[in-house]
Amino acid sequence: MAKIKAEYIWIDGHVPTSKLRSKTKIIDGPVTTLDQIPEWSFDGSSTNQAEGHDSDRSLIPVSYYPDPIRGGDHILVMTAVNYPDGKTHETNKRDHLVEVSKKFAGEEAWFGIEQEYTFFQGLKPLGWPDGGYPAPQGPFYCGVGADEVYGRDIVEDHMEACLVAGLGISGVNAEVMPGQWEFQIGPLGPMESGDQLWIARWLLYRIAEEYGVNASIHPKPVKGDWNGAGAHTNFSTKSMREAGGYEIIEAACKKLGEKHDEHIAVYGAHNEERLTGLHETCSIHEFRYGVSDRGASIRIPLQTVKDGKGYLEDRRPSANMDPYEVCAILLETVCS
């Protein structure tokens, strides 16, 4: 037995978009099973999750990962917030996904989430000139060179940290707006997707902190003729991935079209600033699906058409969405 540092991470009650919080508990290690990690509590009145006169809220460990920053046997612990009597807190969207994912476990759903984000140094995106704008968009997407990409050191450190933590990160790329980047988590099942995207976000903020840089997941961090930031959610079920899957994908698109407003309601705050119909988006007021169409709500990748099976890409979720909510509603709409 040795003492280890366990970083308890949770989602707060910030409105309209929850933020991440964390604090460290020294526990006995090394930890080899989830039940060795104790429940803990925090002051919910400081996170918009309680009133001061009744402020204790519980942190329930739900998954844990090797801590790539502290190393050794130290761990990161993803937690869910409950009331002290065990009741699910309103800000805890994970419990609902647990139910939905059990209900549709037979579908073997996979999610691949593309998390876009923007680095900021002070009030301006990283690498942008003082009191002005960089050259118009064009050369920055997947660019190379000090005149085109800003923050690659952070991106590399973050990707390495995700791998050391055992996350299912599948890639990174520089985005269309300078200072903007993307990483992808998945494909993974619904619970792993939700937990790991939140952990990957936490690692991004934590690592960027070392560089004096802040990563923003606001869907439209710079107003005007600049790309917004999304969280395209690629989705498939077992039957979509098998022969005859294309028909099932098309049927799923039709179902998604009938529930457009319900989906938009949980796809992130300020998303109307991003889903304008410009900058590779479909207007928030319309629903359209199409093959290889990056101006549609749902894109069916060309490869999926060629193979007759595969997955669909829901392009509507914004960068600040809660993956627990997005995965749950996709399962409910498509699999019901």
| Residues in touch with ligand ADP (CB under 6 A) | 110-112, 114, 170, 184, 186-187, 232, 234-236, 241, 310-311, 313
190 touches which of Mn ion, ligand ADP, none (CB within 5 to 8 A by kind)? none
Give the position of tokens 């280890």.
Answer: 4
From the list 164, 142, 109, 169, the residue with the least C-alpha distance to 329 is 109
Is 114 a binding residue for Mn ion by CB under 5 A? The answer is yes
Is 182 a binding residue for Mn ion by CB under 5 A? The answer is yes
User: Among residues 216 and 233, whose Cβ is nearest to ligand ADP?
Assistant: 233
170 touches which of ligand ADP, Mn ion, none (CB within 5 to 8 A by kind)? ligand ADP
Residue 148 beta carbon to ligand ADP: minimum distance, rounded to whole angstroms: 18
Residue 164 beta carbon to ligand ADP: minimum distance, rounded to whole angstroms: 19
User: Among residues 167 and 207, whose Cβ is nearest to ligand ADP?
Assistant: 167
CA distance 289 to 313: 9
Residue 17 beta carbon to Mn ion: minimum distance, rounded to whole angstroms: 20
CA distance 256 to 272: 18
From the list 119, 211, 107, the residue with the least C-alpha distance to 172 is 119
Residue 92 one-letter amino acid: N
CA distance 98 to 153: 36
- What is the spatial order of strands in the sheet that 2-11 belongs to? 20-29, 2-11, 75-82, 56-66, 40-43
User: Among residues 100 and 264, whose Cβ is nearest to Mn ion?
Assistant: 264
Residue 241 beta carbon to ligand ADP: minimum distance, rounded to whole angstroms: 5
Segment interacting with Mn ion (CB under 5 A) among 18-26, 175-183, 202-210, 244-252: 175-183
User: Among residues 157 and 313, whose Cβ is nearest to ligand ADP?
Assistant: 313
User: Among residues 75 and 330, whose Cβ is nearest to ligand ADP?
Assistant: 330
Cβ neighbours of residue 141 under 8 Å, at least 6 residues apart? 173, 174, 175, 176
The conformation of residue 269, written as its DSSP 8-state character, comes to T
User: Among residues 121 and 170, whose Cβ is nearest to ligand ADP?
Assistant: 170
235 touches which of Mn ion, ligand ADP, none (CB within 5 to 8 A by kind)? ligand ADP
The conformation of residue 316, written as its DSSP 8-state character, comes to -
User: Among residues 112 and 179, whose Cβ is nearest to ligand ADP?
Assistant: 112
Measured on CA atoms in the order 101, 90, 59, 15, is the torsion positive or negative? positive
Phi, psi of 55 (to 5 degrees): -100, -15
The residue number whose beta carbon is nearest to Mn ion equals 232
Number of residues that bind Mn ion (CB under 5 A): 3
Determine which residue in the list 94, 220, 232, 316 makes contact with Mn ion, applying CB under 5 A: 232
Residue 234 beta carbon to ligand ADP: minimum distance, rounded to whole angstroms: 3
Cis peptide leading into 317, omega within 30 of 0?
Answer: no
187 touches which of ligand ADP, Mn ion, none (CB within 5 to 8 A by kind)? ligand ADP
CA distance 152 to 36: 37
CA distance 79 to 92: 10
110 touches which of ligand ADP, Mn ion, none (CB within 5 to 8 A by kind)? ligand ADP
CA distance 292 to 306: 11
Contacting residues toward Mn ion, per CB under 5 A: 114, 182, 232
